[in-house]
Amino acid sequence: MRLIISEKANTAKKIAQFLSEGSVKEGKHRSVPHHTFTWKGEETVSVGLKGHVLNPEYPEEYSNWQKVEPRELIDAEILKSVSEKGVAQAVTSLAKKADKVVIATDFDREGELIGVEALSLVFEANPKLIDHVERARFSALTPGEVGRAFDELLEVSNDLADAGEARQDIDLIWGATLTRWVSRATKRYGSAFLSVGRVQSPTLVLIAERERERRAFVPEPYWELEVNLRDGEPFTVRHQTERFKKEAEARRAYENVSDTATVVEVQQKSATRRPPTPFNTTAFLTAAANIGFSPSRAARIAEDLYTDGYISYPRTDNTVYPRSLDLREVLGYLKRVEGAGQHAEKLLARDKLSPTRGKKETTDHPPIYPTSYATKKSMRDDRWKIYQLVVRRFLATLSDPAKTLRTTLRFDSGGEPLVTGGTVVTEEGWLGVYPYSRRADEEIPHLSEGDVVQVVGKEILSKETQPPGRYGAGRLINVMEELGLGTKATRPNIIQNLYDRGYVHDDPLVPTEKGMAVAEALKVFASEIASHEMTAELERSMDDISEGKVSKETVVDSSRDLLRRVYDHLQSSETEFADIVWEGIRTDETIGKCPESGHDLIIRRNRKSRKRFVGCTGYPECRVTYPLPQRGEIIPLGTPCDACGSPEIKVLGGKRPWVTCINMDCPKKQEQKEAAAKSAEEEGGEGSSTQSAQELQKSTT
């Protein structure tokens, strides 16, 4: 019997359906499904894992954070425990009956490691299988791609698996050692622990450094002059001097502008916008972020679409379609996709298809492309949006360039030069199917040189220069790639970890004071873990392992040596490190000023119930308190409520963050409750209040 092991249950089922030469018999080992069928005249069983079946961990004697010296973890033995016992038992049971094994996990470092982990269970159950292992590598769960992979079986790459295991071990050693040290130094245990990571920490430092730039930024004033003209319909122009550095200069120009403006030049310039290149992982996550999907959410949805057979493997660096990809076959099933079918038909009518090419061309996986037809009714709205994004990107890469026309009008009014311009699309090209990159047309009046129009208004606008913008999630993914931080598979989770640990909130990412303090302390006392250079160098070492240039043990041992030096430096600076971090934590817990005593209002916890609330630092003389929601991260905003003047907070948690003031007697809050009650009455008692009113109501019970 041949045993096929894939990464997920859904994949195992599809492989059985694609390869079967007859019917597929469904079975289960306890709760784990497997599929029996005939392939090439031989009985075959397909079973799926649940990702990693082995989990790296330290021995039990190292489990107590407060009693075990974190430095001991650097050289402690790393064990591999079974993480999915039911799956492991199913694999073991099936392996005993097998005489051949095919590993069909995802084709990347992690997938290869997952396959090798499964093989360790297989060999333990049936040592005779050691010399009867093959590897199926595919990039799409389609009959053609899976069939080709199983017709061209290869060997398992132990080097690739070793690279994945080296990353796993190094991340555990660094993360566990430094997280425990920081938590011990700051006495933050349980759910309040402060995490440190090989990739997470330099990413946090990037965000914190940008925030420091913003805080250090000194705005400079400038003035703009806008003039309203009328030619049938009113329109706005600006002074050719976009920014006046002195208000007096803007005022002189304002006074000079007369009652009319004369067109002195009409300039038109056409431009061509080339179609986008095929999606690799980074480009996909960036595009998904631009339509409202966090990197971690977009990655999860893409993985689901891949295992369901709708798109190709979503973790790839490639931006060039391979010659083996039948572009017309893909267009053939996209003809029926809602909103994109008509464009696919136009492309099919062409004699030649010429897709765009990006700068990166690899041989492991193709760029992300749609692999089958889907309807809007067949999937959830979020999955449909991501599927549509992939479909439209694929069609855009095969489409014509878009053409635009930029018209610039220059005027003279009282000797002052005025200007306006607008860009319109003259040929849609790829923008017709990929609207995400399309800007609205800027229509301006059709005027000719010498035309005179009326001045109907003018205004001097006082403005200030703005600090550099914060990183949006999509931009941060790109920066991480440029600096070698993480991999295409790990970057979304790294960013999500920063949110989960309360180091950042919102998008663009805003660091909390705790996040700022942790980043600062690491920069001062552990520059290696705060720098992208160290982790990028380790990433290059992983590549060397996968290419067989260096052993896993050499890289892991070298990483241990570096960590020892980092640890010794931290150990000698424990008090100073903790002081920096606690300053940030205390700032995050300060909500505002007490209206009665003027002392700070801070987040406290009831000693018995452990419920949190806002209390005055002037206690016991001042007993002012306010209730708080009991779930979610609390972010002080430093702004007063416009209705009652009480401090405002942001609550992170649930479906989306929300802002409220801490005063339960706030007039605005009372209005919300009354509106909710009225809505409930009108709907027969089934209405609902606003989220903030609901949460604060819960916090008082």
Which sequence positions are flagged as catalytic? 313
- Helical H runs in 428-551? 473-483, 491-500, 513-525, 527-530, 532-546
**Virtual torsion, Cα 557, 562, 565, 567, nearest 10 deg:** -90
Q: What is the separation of C-alpha 526 from the centre of its chain, rounded to a whole number of angstroms?
A: 26
Q: Which long-range contacts (CB under 8 A, 24 or more apart) does 295-304 make?
A: 295/473, 295/474, 295/477, 295/491, 295/492, 295/495, 295/496, 296/492, 296/493, 296/495, 296/496, 297/382, 298/386, 298/492, 299/492, 299/493, 301/382, 301/383, 301/386, 302/368, 302/386, 302/390, 304/383
**Virtual torsion, Cα 370, 373, 375, 380, nearest 10 deg:** -40
CB 570 within 8 A of CB 525: yes
Q: What is the separation of C-alpha 181 from the centre of its chain, rounded to a whole number of angstroms?
A: 28
Cβ burial, residue 220 (10 Å; 0-12/13-18/19+): exposed
CB 272 within 8 A of CB 402: yes
Contacts of 74 by beta carbon, 8 Å cutoff, 6+ apart: 173, 177, 560, 563, 564, 567
Best CA proximity match to 559, nearest among 543, 546, 572, 541: 541
Residues 510 and 501: their CA atoms lie apart, in Å, by: 13
CB 254 within 8 A of CB 410: no
Contacts of 294 by beta carbon, 8 Å cutoff, 6+ apart: 473, 492, 495, 496, 507
CB 144 within 8 A of CB 14: no
Query: Please, which residues bridge with residue 504 across strands?
Result: 511
Residues 227 and 235: their CA atoms lie apart, in Å, by: 9
Residues 398 and 433: their CA atoms lie apart, in Å, by: 11
Query: Please, which residues bridge with residue 677 across strands?
Result: none
∠ CA 596-599-600, rounded to 5° = 120
- Whole-number Cα distances in Å, 572 to 521, 526, 542: 13, 11, 31
Phi, psi torsion values for 84, nearest 5 degrees: -125, 90
Residues 480 and 203: their CA atoms lie apart, in Å, by: 7
Q: Coil, helix or strand for 310?
A: coil
Question: Tell me, what DSSP letter sits at residue 401?
Answer: P
Residues 648 and 635: their CA atoms lie apart, in Å, by: 9
Break the chain down into helix, strand, coil percent, rounded to 5: 45, 20, 35
